Every structure is written in C-alpha cells, then in structure tokens.
Structure 1
Amino acid sequence: MTPLEALPLDLLRQRSSTKWRKYGDDVLPLFVAETDYPQAPEIQEALTRAVAIGDTGYTPPEPGVALAYAGFADRRFAWTVDPGRIRTTCDVMMAVVELLRRVTEPGDRVVVTPPVYPPFFEVVPEAGAVVERVPLVDTGARWELDLPGIEAALAGGARAVLLCNPHNPTGTAHTRESLAALAEIAARHGAAVISDEIHAPLIHRGALFTPFLDASPTAARVGYAVVSASKAFNLAGLKCALIVTADDAPTRVVRSLPDEVEWRTGLFGAIAAVAAFSPDSDAWLDAQLAALDVNRALLADLLAEHVPGARYRIPDAGFLAWVDLSELGWGDNPAEKIRQEAKVAFHLGPYFGEEGSGHVRINFGCSPDVLTEAVRRVGSLVG
C-alpha cells in the first residue's frame, strides 16, 4: 500500500482549525489530534454535494450512520454490531457525560487509568461524579490495565470505569484477555464500563484491536462503547459520535437518553461518517495507516539520533506518541521549553495526569519532513 502524502505546509497553514491557529507560523504544531492529510475523496464528495443542494438542515432520526458503522466494524474488526443498538450524538465526550449521568449517582467515584486523555478528568465531575485514579502499569514492554487496582477501587465503592481503548496517549491496544478480565471485575461489583474507542480504526499492523463489547459476553452485559470517525478521518469539527451497546440492559439505558442527546448530532458529521465508514473509504484509510506506520518508526529513529535519553515505545494504534523526556532535565512540563526555545508545539505531558510529568505527546500524523524538522529542532536544545 502506497502511503498517503500529507498536504504541504503552506497549504496547511491556511486551515482555520486549532492546530493551525493556536500558535504563530514560526511554530511547528504537533500537539492537538488533527492530521495533515488530504480528506478522503468520498467524504469530500459527500460534503460538497450537500453544500451544493443546500442540505444544511436538521439531522434526521436515521441518517444512515448506524448501518454504515455496523458494516465498518464487521470489515475492520470482525465484530458483529446490531445497528438497532446504536444512537448518535454530538461527540465522544458528550456521550460519555450522558452515560455517566445514567450509570452513577452524584458523588460516585469513576475509575480512570492515567496517563490518559485530559478531558477524562473533566467529564467525570461534569457528570457529578468523582475521579478515582488507577494508573496503567508499565511492564517495561507495554502498558497494561492495573486489574487488581481497579478491583480494589470497585470493591471500595467506585461505580464505573472510564476506559480508553486504544489508549490515548500511549497508543496501547488492550488485549482481549485484559478486557474480559475487566468485565468480570465490573460485573462482580455491579459497575459499568464505558469504553472510548475513537482511535480504533487506526490499529497498526502487528497489533490487534478488541472492541470492549466483543471481549466476552460479560463485557456486553456491563459495557458501553462510544465511537466516531473523527480521529481516523479528521472530522472533529463536524460533530458525530455513536453510542454502541450489545446487550439488553445497556441498550435500555441508552434508549432512555433524552431525544435532545441525539438531536445534537451534526448533519455534516453524519453525512461525513456515512462516507467514512463505507467500503469506498477503506483504501484511503489503509493508505493513511501506511503513512502512519512509516512515521511511528521514523520517530524512533529520529529521537535516537537527535534526542538521546528520550524514551518512546512505538504505539499499537493512532498517530500519537508518548515520549518520556525526564532524563533531559527539562522539568515536569518539557513541552513549554520546547515550544518557547525550539518553536515546536507538543502536547503537555502533565495534562494527562501525574504520570505525565517529564513527558510530551507528539502528533506524528504529518509529513516525514515536518516530523524530521520538529525532532531536529528539539535536538538543538540537547546539551
């Protein structure tokens, strides 16, 4: 598969999204999770057609996303999804909040597994609950869920687990065995598992993505999955996420959500998601994965050459790299020094929890040239 080529830097700087407007043109932005590739042709065509005919109204009750995603899940994950058990909403974090409001009471504790996507620390209190941290375990070879720690938290009264699968920022695809074990723990304590699977379409060769709901029959009974095309197809601004269930009890919970939750789905988001999840977009997605595969390995080589002391584990999924720069002595938040002195913007490690001290998150969903220049700039700071 020929890798997808990123757009040139001068064209990217014409974009109006956060990645290209937060900092000046002297900064290379590799922080927020937006990619630099041209949009998939099928999505371009679908959105262009909608604008041409003025299709800019309200999102219909059945925009076709559920059926499209069921086909995608079958092709890409060998996972059978019932379209009748899917509802849409605005975005993944909004879906998480609404689900937490249904499976917890005010003041209940919710397990999160840092280092983890920063909004996890915000959506739990937004839902009226309290964060309980059970960090991932670094085995030296990979990151794993701390299953005994999660069991202790649930035995102590926590009512839900907010899972990130594949995990952001580490890029870890949790194993079927660990997910099935998590499900059994949750079932023993009457807890729910809400799995954010937004990075799932970006699973790399040599790795395997297991949908939480497909990990075991018990997982289906205790779980909710929230998915979207937004990360894999760079659609964050169009607002469409899916809440997926696989058993009757969770399905009843999702069906009980107010109609307004579904009304928040953006029409352009739904139109783009249908195109993204169609078989016609598979070739584009595979080409993007080929490009990301090159870059995840290139980053390892670049760091070894220019930033000795950096510790980086090649991710199973996604376009985000979790890099430990602690040995360089650049403080708890090295991304600040790097942005100010090297003019490269990485995401701030401490935002992902205490475990992010001394770390940065690097977005390698860009051209090899941009990635190379960014790491070379960081290397110029190494004494």
Structure 2
Amino acid sequence: MPYNFDSPVSRKDTDTVKYDLCELLFGSREVIPLWVADMDLPIAKEIQDALVQRASHPVYGYTIQSKRCWSAVQGWLQQQHQWEVPDHSFVFSPGIVPALTLMVQAFTQPKEKVMIFTPVYTPFHEAVKGNDRTLITNDLVEKNGRYEIDFQKTEELLKEGVKLLIFCNPHNPSGRMWTKEEILQLLDLCKKYNTLIFSDEIHADLTFFGNKHIPFATIREDAAQQVITGMAPSKTFNLAGLQASYLIFLDDTLKRQYTKVASVPHLNFGGTFGTEGMIAAYTHGHTWYKEMKAYIQGNIEFVIDYIDKHIPEIKAMKPEATYLIWLDCKSLGLSDPELKKFMVEKAGIALNEGISFGQTGSGWQRMNVAVARPVLEKALAQLKEAMS
C-alpha cells in the first residue's frame, strides 16, 4: 500500500520527548522541533496491526526473545546486509544507549581509557565519563565537506593504552559512511594495540544516494574477535518508544563477559511490545521501508538545495546515511548560546546544539529531516526570514 508522508502527524501532548520537552529545553512550545532523532512519520500499518493484535490478549507478562524473534532479525540482516548471523550471537538490549554503559562496565575498569571520534552522539561521552573511565576524544578532520579519520593521530592515542573504542557507523551527527578501506585500517590498528571495538550501527538501514552499509564485524574474518555490533529497528521503523535493540557477538567469550554484567540489572531481555514490534517490522515492514527511504532522501535533497540557494551563510554537510543534516553555522559569528537563541527566538525552530556532540561541534547545529515535507518547508522559510 502507498503511504502518505506529506500529512503532518500531531504528536503534541503524547508525552513525547521531541514536543513535550520543548518548553523546558528551548523555552517555547511554539518552535518547530527538528531535534531528537525519531521520525514524525506514521509507522507501517503492519507493525501497528501486530501491536494491536498483541494488545488484545489480556496478559502482558514477562516476555522472552525466542527463535521467532531472532529468525526475523536474521532474515532482515541477510536481506539488507548479506550478513548471516548465527542464532547464538544475539543478545537483546532495551536500547543502544543502555548497551553503551554496559559495554564500558563489562570490558574496562575504572580510570581505563575509552576512545570516541568527535563530534559524536552525546551518550557516547556520557557512558564513559559517567562510569569513571578516562574519555579520549579523537577529533575527526573536516575535508571537502565531509569528515575523515586522522589515522596517524588515532595510532598515537591507541598506543597509550585505549581499552575500548566506541565507533559510530554510520556517523551521527554528520551522516558519514565509512569505507571498506577506512574500516580495515581501523581494525588493523585496534588489533595491533588490543583495543576492543563496539560499533554502533543503529542507522545502518538508513543509507541514501546508492550508498551501502558495511557492518564492521564483516569486514574480515578476524574482526569477529575484535568487534561487537549494536543494531535496532528503532531508527529504521520509528520504534524508539518500544525500547528494542540487539547486540551481535561473533565471539562467545565476549558474549559471556557482556552477559555477566547485563544480567545483573536484567537488561538482556525485553518487553512484550518491543519484541512484537521488532518481529513485525523485520517480517512485514519492507514496503513501508522502501517508501520511507525514498521520501526521506527527497527531504534531504530539498533541504540541501534550499540552504545552498537561499541561506548560503549556512553550510549543510550532505549525509550519506541517517535522516540528520549537520549544519555549519560558524560564519554567523555567534557563540553557542547565541546560536541556540537565534534558532529558537528568531527562526522558531529547535535543533540539536552542535557543542553537545563535543567541542568540535561548536558553531554547528543538527537538523532532523524525518518529518512531513510541509513542515520542512515552513521551518526553512522561517530560517531564511530570520537570516534576512
């Protein structure tokens, strides 16, 4: 069935982070929220129907992730990424963010070093610092409108005893997709210095313009002992509120080490509706998925073209993946608090502050374009008017 993504869906007063926290975080309920990374697009009817059917059963008790669940995940990974993952490799998680903390706790000790490439998703920072580990930030280098890894600097930092690398693949906030050559080079360095890799691949299905995602753990046979992967249907199918994701361990020893930590707070199994939502998405969501991707790619092209033509003071980094656009606003000459105030009070839009992704994000803003096109048109018109 064709899906109509052009009609805005009201989410106000549904206790949703993106809308109902605007007044607290931005000082206004009237801004157009283009910040939190979830979609304002209606989910696939097949998923909604599956949840309604499960809700019709009068008992919502503790739920396991059985063969039915993991078979659906395996089928999706095989179809989308040509990745055959064995049954025993999966561990459920209520989200990638909780998994970040458990990874740090399972594979490092207090004060040990954990490295991230910045700018990057804020919880990467928090998972390290909040667990009393030493955060090592490795700034990505901007070249020709995209980020690249400085491998010489990376080796210098790894040789100082980094125990764990938390890697964002594809990259949030820039939408950068890492090439086979880059992933191989990073794997070689981490093997050389015995650094474990957690690859957050939550945006793996959201690739655009003919780009194809490369799961880090598949890059070479020996990556199995070095790489743990995190994935989820939450970004792909807009199911973040169901709190369902999973980790892939191709090494049994690493899986046991993680599960030993995760099982203490019982964060290695999930809830009824998260499980049903994941099964339905991966089994019946293909048509919706294709239409959603085409729509969001159109949104990305619309935003990039509009900013280039009408707001040239701002430079948009064209994403290869994700529905996020990283906006370089440094030419405006505003401090980070001033930039936030300008976007809220003058343009009437709420974006993620670049500085929250690390110091290299100063002067940037992150825009979520997974919304109805008319909403984007209104937001950009307001930004253009504010600039003038």
TM-score normalised by length of structure 2: 0.93
- Pick which of 185-194 and 333-342 moved more: 333-342
Write the letter of the residue equivalent to 2:353: L
Alpha-carbon offset, residue 3 of structure 1: 7.2
1:72 aligns with 2:71: no
Alpha-carbon offset, residue 91 of structure 1: 0.9
Aligned-residue CA RMSD (Å): 1.9
Aligned counterparts of 2:320 and 2:248: Cα–Cα separation in 1: 23
1:205 aligns with 2:215: no
Q: Which whole-Å deviations, capped at 9, do the CAs of 1:80-126 have from their partners, x for residues lacking one?
A: 11121101021101112112212111101111111100111101123
1:367 aligns with 2:372: yes
1:130–1:244 distance in 2 versus 1, CA, 3 Å: same
The one of 328, 332, 357 equivalent to 2:336 is 332
1:93 aligns with 2:67: no
Whether the 8 Å contact between 1:204 and 1:317 is mirrored in structure 2 is: yes
- In structure 1, the partner of 2:116 is 112
Aligned counterparts of 2:269 and 2:64: Cα–Cα separation in 1: 11
1:227–1:5 distance in 2 versus 1, CA, 3 Å: same
The one of 314, 317, 326 equivalent to 1:313 is 317
- In structure 2, the partner of 1:144 is 148
Write the letter of the residue equivalent to 1:153: L
Q: Which runs of 5+ in 2 are unaligned?
A: 23-27
Whether the 8 Å contact between 1:162 and 1:194 is mirrored in structure 2 is: yes
Alpha-carbon offset, residue 201 of structure 1: 1.2
Aligned counterparts of 1:63 and 1:339: Cα–Cα separation in 2: 48
- In structure 2, the partner of 1:8 is 8
Correspondences of 1:1-383 after superposition (within 5 Å): 5-9=5-9, 11-13=10-12, 15-23=14-22, 24-62=28-66, 64-259=68-263, 260-263=265-268, 265-278=270-283, 280-333=284-337, 334-383=339-388
SS at match of 1:231: helix
SS at match of 1:252: helix
Whether the 8 Å contact between 1:112 and 1:163 is mirrored in structure 2 is: yes
Whether the 8 Å contact between 1:30 and 1:344 is mirrored in structure 2 is: yes
Alpha-carbon offset, residue 209 of structure 1: 0.6
Q: Which whole-Å deviations, capped at 9, do the CAs of 1:220-269 have from their partners, x for residues lacking one?
A: 21010111111111111111110102234433334434434445522211
Q: How many residues align?
A: 381
Alpha-carbon offset, residue 141 of structure 1: 4.4
Q: Which runs of 5+ in 1 are unaligned?
A: none
Alpha-carbon offset, residue 202 of structure 1: 0.7
Write the letter of the residue equivalent to 2:386: L
Aligned counterparts of 1:61 and 1:41: Cα–Cα separation in 2: 23
Structure 1 segments of 4 or more deviating over 6 A? none
TM-score normalised by length of structure 1: 0.94
